[in-house]
Amino acid sequence: MKLQAALDTLSLEDCVALLSETRGSIDIAEVGTPFVIEEGMRPVREFKSKFPEIEVLADVKIMDAGEYEADKCFEAGADICTVLGVSNNATIEGVVRSAKKHGKKVMVDMIEVPDLAARAAEIDAMGVDYICVHTAFDVQKTGKDPLDDLKVVNKVLKHAKSAVAGGVKLNTIDAIVEEGAEIIVVGGFICNAEDRAATAKELKAHLK
Amino acid sequence: MKLQAALDTLSLEDCVALLSETRGSIDIAEVGTPFVIEEGMRPVREFKSKFPEIEVLADVKIMDAGEYEADKCFEAGADICTVLGVSNNATIEGVVRSAKKHGKKVMVDMIEVPDLAARAAEIDAMGVDYICVHTAFDVQKTGKDPLDDLKVVNKVLKHAKSAVAGGVKLNTIDAIVEEGAEIIVVGGFICNAEDRAATAKELKAHLK
């Protein structure tokens, strides 16, 4: 199991500080979507050069031009890039082509996918590496939690590994670990913690 | 009617050259998604400072954190930002909130929306400015064309104006103009033209 830190709301300098403080606890540094909107691929390049031992995920949520957009991420040094599960199959196939060409990985973000089990099974057959259940930030306040979705996806996956994102905290991580996921994404709970190093270390200690 | 040029595959320097050459023909400069992935909001700032008379659209295709991500675009100077029609209503509502706060505009990209008429009617009631039918780049090679989708959307809109994107060329623009759309998006047909200025001018002359 890997711990992924979603870096969304901090400055590039503060992200670098966070990754230094939490060294040894965080396996994957996610350059979050708002961060890409602001800075493009600069944080990807910066993280790869400063923390070569940490995998970098570019959360670009590709919706079209799959191969072309994924190429941009991998050329910048990303190890993993994301594509939306609601996108056309041709788009996901393009991202997979790009990943294979670069020897890198694809995560499919299942945010807002209507029939999760059926779509996860379809996408699982396309050669992607990770299928991520994701409770949107904008709907977390309704109390929705990604654990039920994780159970649905874990039942159908035959090739890809599962990942989980959306409001994961110390008091919800054990149930996720119990259910099983290759990657657990934590954002605000680390970034907004008073002691980010201790929080990341404690989360990591809960993983199997 | 407005002509929007989608700038996706050129360097920032070449985009600036294109916008200079085509001055008077292009109403809206679109900072395309791959361009945002590479450069973040830098092209938005650059276009606004160099071409204050041209509207700038940030094609960020927001899927979550609507208000937060739209804020980033508008703070950088974008006049319009895009959100996906497949996103959660809460996300679209967040983008609308951000736009109203900044006195800017929202375009909803209907790419891969399953029930176009029903979803367009729902979104039309949310206070967005434009609803854009969009044939994905990755599916244009199947011969699909956005005209039929435009007809579907034009039938249901009561508040928002329609926009159309996806492989629009000189030989398909008249049918679109005839059907009616406030914004017509042209990408490769301008960017890859031998004479970009003449091509943009000719396209613009076909608009009403």
Average pLDDT, integer, range B106-111: 98
Quote the pLDDT of residue A199: 98
pLDDT over 90 percentage in chain B: 95
The interface predicted TM-score (ipTM) is 0.96
Report the residue of chain B nearest A37, measured CA to CA. B40
pLDDT tens-digit profile, chain A (208 residues): 999 999 988 899 999 999 999 999 999 999 999 999 999 999 999 999 999 999 999 999 999 999 999 999 999 999 999 999 999 999 999 999 999 999 999 999 999 999 999 999 999 999 999 999 999 999 988 888 899 999 999 999 999 999 999 989 999 999 999 999 999 999 999 999 999 999 999 999 999 9
Q: Half-sphere exposure (CA, 13 Å, Cβ side) for B136?
A: 24
Q: Half-sphere exposure (CA, 13 Å, Cβ side) for B82?
A: 25
Rounded to whole angstroms, the Cα distance separating A133 from A181 reads 10
**Chain B residues within an 8 Å CB radius of A139:** 88, 90
CATH code, domain carrying A160: 3.20.20.70
Domain count of chain B?
1
Identity of residue B111: I
Q: Select from A36, A138, A140, A185 the residue whose CB has the most chain B CBs within 10 Å, as the one to mutate to test that interface.
A: A138
Which residues form the domain of A183? Answer: 2-206
Choose the closest CB to A139 out of B33, B39, B90: B90
- Grade residue B8 by pLDDT with cuts at 50, 70 and 90: confident
